[in-house]
Each structure stands twice: as C-alpha cells, then as structure tokens.
Chain A
Amino acid sequence: MVIVLMGCEGQLSEPSTPGDPPPPGQRAPVGEPPAPSSLAPRLVRLTPRQLENTLRTIVDDIALEERLSASAQLGSGFGSSGAFSTAAGRRHLTEPHVRDIYDAMEDAALRLAEDPAALASCLAGGLDDASCIETFVADFGARAWRRPVSTEERDRFVATWTSAREDGSPEEAFPVLVRAMLMSPAFLFRSEFGEAGAESTDVALEPYELASALSYVLADGPPDRTLRDLAAAGDLAAPTTVEAEARRLLAGRETASGVVAFLAELFDVAQVRAVVKDPDLYPDFDPALTRAMERESTLFLADVLIDGDARLGTMLTASYSFVDDRLAAIYGVDPPSEPFGRVDLDPAERFGVLTQPAFLAAHAHPDETSIVFRGRFVRFALLCEDSPPPPEDVDANLPPRNRDEVTLRDHTEEAHSVGSCAGCHSLMDPIGYAFERYDTVGRYRTEDHGLPIDPSGQIVGGELPRTFDDAQGLVDLLAESEDVTSCVARRFVQYALGTEPPIDDPLVVRATAAFQESGGSVRELAVAVVTDEAFRVRRRP
C-alpha cells in the first residue's frame, strides 16, 4: 500500500457508499460494490462493445457500440472517471438508454432479417411457417444468448411472433421476433447464478455461464465453438480445463481482446481523442492523428501481451512500436513499409507506453506539457492513489511564465512549493518531471524554449523513496515496483469482475501474488483471476 505523505488528503480509491434514499418512485442505486472474492449470484450486463461482438459472430457488419455507448454512460475513460467499461454492468438501465436499445435493436433486427436463411435454413422457404419459426428461435437463441433456449422460452417467443403476425405481414412480423429476442435479458445480460437446485451456500457457475464469463472477460465477446462444445459436454468444470482454455484464448489476437481492452483502458489510450492542441503550434494535430496514436498504443500493448513476454515491465520499457507515416514523423524514424508496421525506436528516447504519443498528448495542455497531469496519472493508474482537486481558496492556474527565462519545471516547482499546494504536488510533480522531454504532442526534445530540461525526479512514498535521472529511470522503477504490480492486479480484478475491490480483498491478494511470482506477466495475472475460485463460485446471501 502506498503511504500518502506530507498532508495530501488524497484518498485511496475505496468504493463509494450510496447517498440518501431516492425520492419515491425512483430507484436506488444498485448498491455498494460487493467484494469480488465473495460475489453473490448476479446478472452481468454486457457492454455495448460486447453486444456488438456477439452479434458480429452472426452477421459481421452489425454496429452497436457507437450507437449505444453514449446513453450507456460509460464515462470518460479510466484515467478521469476511475471506472472501466465493464462497470456498465452496474449502471442503471435508464429510460433513454432503453429507448436507445429499442432503436438500435430495430436496426440490428432488420439487418439480420435481410438473410433469414442464414439464421435458420428452413426460413429459405418463407417466413410464415410456425414450425420453422420454432426452429429459428432455438437456433438463433443458442447463438445470441450463448446457451440453449428452454422450451418455455421458445414457446413464449413463438407467441410473440404469432401476435406480431396478426398485425403485419410475415416480412413485418419476423423482425419483431428477432428484435424481441435481442431485447431479452438473455441477450443483454449474462447470468452468474450457478447450478440450479444446488443446496449449498456456495454455488459454482453452470457450464454455459462459465464459458460466457471466461469469454467476455478475456475475449470481450461470446464463447466460441470450442468453449460452447466444452460447456455442452459438461467438460468445463475441471480447473485444468479452465486454465487451458484461458491460455488458448490469451494466445490469439481476437480472443485476447478483453485483456487488450483492459490494458488500453488502464493506460487511457483513447483519451487522446478528447484533447485539442494549439493549431498555431501543432497544425497537423487532427482527429485522424489522434486515432492513429490510440491505435499505436493499443497495437503495442497487444503485441507485448500476445506475441511478446506479456510482462507489464516490457509494456513500460520497450523501445519499439507500431506506427504510420505521421507517427513516424513524430518519432523521427523512417516509416515502416506498411502502415502500422513495427519500428524500432531510439532506446535512449523511448521506453514503453508512457513515452508514446497517446499518453503524452492526452496528458498535456494545448500549448505546453503538463507536469501535473502526467504525474497524477501515474499515481492514479499505476499506484492506485488518488488526489483531491486543489483547495477552493487556491488559484489553480499557474502564474504567468516568461517561457524564455524559466522552464515549466522550475516554474511549477516554485508555484507548488508553498502552502496547501505542496502536500499533493510533492507526490505528483516529481513523477511528471520525467516526461518533460516530450512535448505536448509527444515529440522528444531536450530544451524547453531554449532552456535545458532536467527530467530527474523521484517517487515519494510507498516503497523506499527512489530517485531517478529521467523517464527511463522512472519507468525502470515502475517496472520493478511491487506497489505497481499490486495496484495493477487490483485494477485487473476490478475490470474482470466489474466491481472495485478493497485493497485487501483475498482475490486481489492471490492475484497479486501470482502476478508478482510470474515476473509481472499480465497473461499470468489474467489466468490467475479467471481460474480463481472467486471467479467461478457465487455465494448466496
């Protein structure tokens, strides 16, 4: 645990408690986040991306993510909201969001209905045969709902079709049926109820539930045929099988997408899309460039995870990346023969994801760098330490600076050394100094408006206070730090279970141990979490 020094009131990010009860007629929040190590049976809502990935296994050009993300209120990214996309499962199904689902599923159903025979071969003969509709419900349900459809469910949805058929043609009634199945909780949620009829307090997830849990956490999508077959045969119960399946998924680009998404969210690589730069200084900084930056860091993280040694330390220190022409210009290297091909970067200048433009540009001002944003991000994302906003009586603007006379570092140091500023800034700023050799779009530099840059600093608190000479020194310390590994293990548990764990949660403790024993392999961290008993057993209250 990181010790917070010098009067900074920064709280460790403990789960919040709900406020007062709501007025009558309004629903209370879903409740205090439960401890991941003893979760009760539950429904887990899929994220818009997971819903999209699910339908894309049936028709490959369906888009739901963009359509549903705004009203799902996924927040503004982990770095600023502290919530991963998987927390969507705890959010309210508000009226505007349900309206959005209703509209989006209409479009999806119409797209699916364009080729009914692809959904059930008997539909090639027409859409008005009730027995074929029965077959369709069973077949389509098994794919969209990731489990077999019960007789009762089948009859219920055939009745929906019959009713719609009374008020419309077969061509009008069929999409109504498809849409109803896409608005079913069986599609929108995945269940973690455990085996029906079990007597004990602790119930293991039933096979299809476990297949879905594994697949949506690791692959960000529905179980593939191998997992479905294992579930159908009842062969997923053995821990060795679960581990083998987890390793199989984590070895593939597509099937490890969930863990890549975790890393991309942890390092907040999409945040760069929300920033602007001073067009006089950086006229080329446009949306296409920010998307390229996001893509670069995502490709890099995926490469280390899937094709590399999967170590967090490598993600924090490696001197290579995947760039297009414009990013190559920022790095000052020759562009690769193909866009987003691998290039080696100057090992004296670039060290992992924190020295890539997506991070550097997102955590900087439009016209200059930000020591505070960059330092604060590292403390929050990698050291699990939050800091409060500046006190009310303080002008949080830095005083004006003559850029030709004083570096941002010296200016910041002087402004933050006094009064109520020092407590928190003495924790954040000395980490942020390390990145001063990267300008606001991530280009390497040695001078700040003609003045030499001093990138040395220190990590205050936690393990023995450590000093470093530059960004390389910082990332080396972070890569070796047990504070960082325990924080990232906690972050992954938060991502995988969709609920933020207390620091001493037993699952977090076990995951941290496995992560550290593996030398910081994110692959081993993921395997440890999904094979943990807490992942596959639910405790009835």
Chain B
Amino acid sequence: MNRRRFGKMVGLGAAGSMLGPFLDQLVTEAEGQTGDRKRLVLFTSGNGFVERNYTCEARSETDFDLSPTLMPFAPYKDDLLVLSKFFNPHDKALHGNQWATLSVLPGGTGSQLRDLPPGGGGVSIDRHLAHTVGAGDRFSSTAVGIAEGGNNILCVSVDGPGTPFPAIGSPVQAYGTWFGESTGVSEMELRRRLAREQSLLDGVLGDVNATRSRLAPYEQERLDQYLDSLRVLEGQLAGAEVLACEPVPPDDGLDRNNLDPRVVRAHVDTTFAAQQCGLTRVSHISILGREGPHNRYGWLGDMRGHHNNYHENDWDMILNIDHFILGEIAHYWGRLKETPEGTGTMADNTIVVYVNTCGGKHHNGQNLHAVLALGHMDGYFRTGRYLSFDEGQHAISDVYVSLANAMGLPIDTFGDAEICQGPLPGLTA
C-alpha cells in the first residue's frame, strides 16, 4: 500500500470536503499567515513565446490593447504585467537558454556535458527561493512537468551546477508525494505510521553513516548527497500533519506524464492545492519547458507538432497552443481570485509568472524574452501595465530580482552579477 492509497483508506471523506474552505480560512488565520505568506507559481514552456505574439499595441504603460495571443488574460488585464525584451546570454543554444533560463549563469548545454547531468551554472530562481523563503515549508518548492518521450521530463529547475531538480511527471504521483501522508487519516493513524517511517529512516540513515565512515573523503560526497536528501525527506515526513484542507486527488487514470490537457490541468490543480494547503510557497509547472520539443497538441488540431509549427510558420496553430498555455495560467489565477484568504483572496499574495525557455524566437530568441506576471503581491507591484524595454537594456535576471524582493527576499542581484542591475525599475508601487 503506498501513501496515496493509504490516504484514501481512512478519513474525513465528504465531511472534510464540505468543511474544506471554512477550515482553510480558520487555519490560515490561526497561523497568522494572512498577508505574510507570499507565493510564486512559475509556468514555463518551450519552442518560443515570440515577439509578434506578445507585443501589444500600447499608447502608454497603462493604456494598451492585449495582443490576440494574450486574450486569455482579458478578464485579468488589471492584474497583469507584460514585460519584455530581456536578454539572457548564457547557455545559448539553437533552442533557447536551456538550463540557464532560470539561473542566468553559464553551466553547459546538454551537448557539452557528457557524464555529468546538464544543469545551469547556478541555482534557478524557483530553487533559490526554495532554499531561502521556502526553507521552512514542508516542501521547499514543487516542480511538475510533462515528458517529451519516454521519461525525459522537460523542466529547468536546478539546484546548482550539474544538479537539476527533477520535476514530477505524473499528477497522481505528485499528489501522493505532497498529500499522501496527510489527507484523510486520523491523527492517531498518522502518528503510528510516521513512527514506523521514522524507524525506517533511522535505520537507513544509520546504515548510510556506517557505510560512509568506511569511505575516503572524496567518495563520501556521494553518500553525503544521499544523506542530505534523506534528511529533507525526514523533515517532510516529520512535518506531516492532518491537513484541514481537503484537496481533490487526480483520477488514477492520470498517472502518466504525457502531453494531454487533462494531465496538464491535473498538475495545475494539484499544485494549487499544495499551495492552498500551505505545503509550499514556490511552485514550477513546466509544460514542456525546455528547448524545442516536438510534442503534438493533438486536441487543438496540431498535426505536425509544436516545434514544426514554427518551422512552417503556422501562426494560427502557435496561437492556439499559446492560448492553451496561457489559459491554464488564467485558470490558476482565477482559482486564486475565488479563494478567500484573510480579508481578501489568495490572489493578493501570489504571483503567477510565465517564461518561455526559448525566449522571443524559436531559434536564438535569447535577447527577446518576455515575462508575463499576474499579481500585485499585496500592493508591491503596480499591475495592469505593459513594459517593453529596449533590446539589451535589461537581463532577465532583473525580473527575477524583482520577484524575489516581492517574495520578501531582499536581494539586489541574481545569477550573473556582471549583467544584473538589480530589481527592474518602475515595477513597484
């Protein structure tokens, strides 16, 4: 019996569901989190979010018409920031910045690294926030993603050189990981189970330490990684508590990681639940967010695959696919706006961001990155604005600094310090 099945077996059931929103609010208020807990949800995709599609007709920063591509955000135009033409000079490949997209440091592309896994030269912005503002959360950050083929999940979250942070591919697995211990169980069952898990981890940790003590220092590092990860896991388990919120598990049929609108939506909703239940405050949802994947958005009528639509200049289909991706982001934002928190809604304390790893062109779009963001972060950002900078004026890391500041992390540089000028000017209230 795995934890997910275990979680389903005993529990609050329907009563929990009905009480859910009410309990959420009580818990939030009891924990004094109202207004304090800032959250970031990052969406990424690949193949390019091209300049012609994100460019809006603008008479001023605040007086602009959404481009056709941005229409899924029409109901939320006042919450939106359209920021564009940022450069990222690192890990440039034909198809985007690869692992440097979110780290803005040179690391090496897949084709240059052999035995070591690829992964940017630094930590990605989501994982940097995980290690800082998210460090006390049960899950310092979450990452989910779709696989291109086989098991190759395309996601550019990374903890450091050569250390990608793997995304979870199946929404069912993600749900089990985040909620398995803590939903639908009685307090006593949970404690007994966690005690057994602790025996397990004590045993494994003792065994790893005993093995480690026999190794030369240079070889201990390999087990140190294991120890580090086991301790994180131990902390995740120790922090398990019977949650007041009652998330809805994805259908068992969605235990897969392929490009399917139901799988994507399940990732979106499960991530929302993890944030709503307070398990994490930093999340990454990668819809094939690395390089130029060839997957077919078949349900949209995409016959030749995302990648080849660019090569064939099929702008109608690219628009359809952009609408799907932005539609998922809008769905997430809509859920935030309808979920009470404190005296407002979750949307008051959350920023939802979209970055395309290829930048503003399918090939070599690294100087034309756009960043879309929904959320004022409790009045920190002035939203409802369209800011297009001159090419070469700002590195994309300036945007990441602004996001980190809005999350309560007072940094003034991120990634490559030579090109980062600090927070993007003119964003804050």
A-side interface residues toward B, CB under 8 Å? 11, 13, 15-16, 18-20, 22-23, 25-31, 33, 40-43, 45, 66, 69-77, 80-83, 87, 90-99, 102-103, 106-107, 110, 152-153, 156-157, 159-160, 163-164, 166-168, 172-173, 176-177, 179-180, 183-186, 188-189, 193, 270-271, 273-276, 278-280, 365-367, 386, 388-390, 392, 395-397, 494, 498-500, 540-541
Q: How long is the Cα–Cα vector from A275 to B149 in the complex, in angstroms?
A: 8
A389 and B93 within 8 A (CB): yes
8 inter-chain pairs at a CB distance below 8 angstroms, sorted by A residue, are A29-B162, A43-B223, A103-B2, A160-B200, A176-B200, A180-B204, A185-B207, A366-B305
Chain B: minimal CB distance from A356 (Å)? 19
A386 and B295 within 8 A (CB): no
Residue B31 is within 8 A (CB to CB) of chain A in the complex: no
Q: How long is the Cα–Cα vector from A275 to B236 in the complex, in angstroms?
A: 38
Residues of A within 8 A of B197 (CB): 176
Q: CB-nearest residue of chain A relative to B1?
A: A110
Could you say which of A70, A93, A103, A176 contacts B226, with CB atoms under 8 Å apart? A93
Q: CB-nearest residue of chain A relative to B6?
A: A106
Could you say which of A19, A41, A43, A156 contacts B207, with CB atoms under 8 Å apart? A156
Q: Which residue of A13, A107, A183, A388 has the most chain B CB atoms within 10 A of its CB atom? A: A183
B200 and A164 within 8 A (CB): yes
Residues of A within 8 A of B162 (CB): 18-19, 29-30, 92
Total inter-chain residue pairs, C-beta < 8 Å: 279
A168 and B294 within 8 A (CB): no
**Contact pattern, B 201-237, Cβ under 8 Å of A = 1, otherwise 0:** 0111011101100111011011111101110110010
Residue B123 is within 8 A (CB to CB) of chain A in the complex: yes
B165 and A94 within 8 A (CB): yes
Could you say which of A28, A92, A366 contacts B294, with CB atoms under 8 Å apart? A366
Residue B59 is within 8 A (CB to CB) of chain A in the complex: no
A20 and B121 within 8 A (CB): yes
Residues of A within 8 A of B219 (CB): 40-43
**Contact pattern, B 63-75, Cβ under 8 Å of A = 1, otherwise 0:** 0000000000000
Residues of B within 8 A of A180 (CB): 200, 203-204, 207
B204 and A70 within 8 A (CB): no
B166 and A94 within 8 A (CB): yes
Q: CB-nearest residue of chain A relative to B176?
A: A103
Chain B: minimal CB distance from A102 (Å)? 6
Q: How large is the interface on B (under 10, 10 to 19, 20 to 34, 35 or more residues)?
A: 35 or more
Interface residues of B in 149-207 (CB under 8 A from A): 149-153, 159-169, 173, 176-177, 192, 195-197, 199-200, 202-204, 206-207
Closest 4 CB pairs of A and B: A274-B149, A160-B203, A29-B162, A22-B160
B40-48, B103-111, B242-250, B379-387: which lies at the A interface?
Answer: B103-111
Residue B257 is within 8 A (CB to CB) of chain A in the complex: yes
Could you say which of B192, B228, B257 contacts A167, with CB atoms under 8 Å apart? B192
B14-22, B112-120, B322-330, B391-399: which lies at the A interface?
Answer: B112-120
Chain A: minimal CB distance from B252 (Å)? 15
Q: How long is the Cα–Cα vector from A74 to B305 in the complex, in angstroms?
A: 24
A103 and B3 within 8 A (CB): yes
Q: How long is the Cα–Cα vector from A514 to B410 in the complex, in angstroms?
A: 61
Q: CB-nearest residue of chain B relative to A97?
A: B166
Q: Which residue of A77, A166, A276 has the most chain B CB atoms within 10 A of its CB atom? A: A276
Known interface pairs A40-B218, A274-B152; A160-B199 also in contact (CB < 8 Å): yes
Residues of A within 8 A of B106 (CB): 19
B114 and A87 within 8 A (CB): yes
A270 and B161 within 8 A (CB): no
A152 and B210 within 8 A (CB): yes
Residues of B within 8 A of A163 (CB): 199, 202-203
Q: How long is the Cα–Cα vector from A66 to B211 in the complex, in angstroms?
A: 28
A30 and B221 within 8 A (CB): yes
Q: What would 4 more interface pairs be, CB under 8 Å, given A94-B165, A173-B196, A186-B211? A: A26-B163, A96-B166, A276-B305, A366-B294
Q: How long is the Cα–Cα vector from A18 to B113 in the complex, in angstroms?
A: 9
Q: CB-nearest residue of chain A relative to B180?
A: A103
A28 and B161 within 8 A (CB): yes
Q: CB-nearest residue of chain A relative to B145?
A: A70
Residues of B within 8 A of A271 (CB): 149
Q: CB-nearest residue of chain A relative to B212?
A: A185
B257 and A95 within 8 A (CB): no
Residues of A within 8 A of B167 (CB): 96
Could you say which of A41, A87, A189 contacts B216, with CB atoms under 8 Å apart? A41
Q: CB-nearest residue of chain A relative to B107?
A: A19
B150 and A273 within 8 A (CB): yes
Q: How long is the Cα–Cα vector from A173 to B222 in the complex, in angstroms?
A: 29
Q: Which residue of A40, A180, A184 has the most chain B CB atoms within 10 A of its CB atom? A: A180
Known interface pairs A153-B207, A396-B363; A98-B230 also in contact (CB < 8 Å): yes
Could you say which of A45, A73, A152, A172 contacts B117, with CB atoms under 8 Å apart? A73
Residue B267 is within 8 A (CB to CB) of chain A in the complex: no
Q: CB-nearest residue of chain B relative to A29?
A: B162
B221 and A275 within 8 A (CB): no
Q: How long is the Cα–Cα vector from A193 to B165 in the complex, in angstroms?
A: 30
Q: How long is the Cα–Cα vector from A126 to B176 in the complex, in angstroms?
A: 31
B117 and A92 within 8 A (CB): yes
A160 and B202 within 8 A (CB): yes
B196 and A168 within 8 A (CB): yes
Q: How long is the Cα–Cα vector from A167 to B189 in the complex, in angstroms?
A: 11
A157 and B207 within 8 A (CB): yes
A80 and B110 within 8 A (CB): yes
Residues of A within 8 A of B204 (CB): 180, 183-184
A392 and B92 within 8 A (CB): yes
A102 and B218 within 8 A (CB): no
Q: How long is the Cα–Cα vector from A500 to B115 in the complex, in angstroms?
A: 6
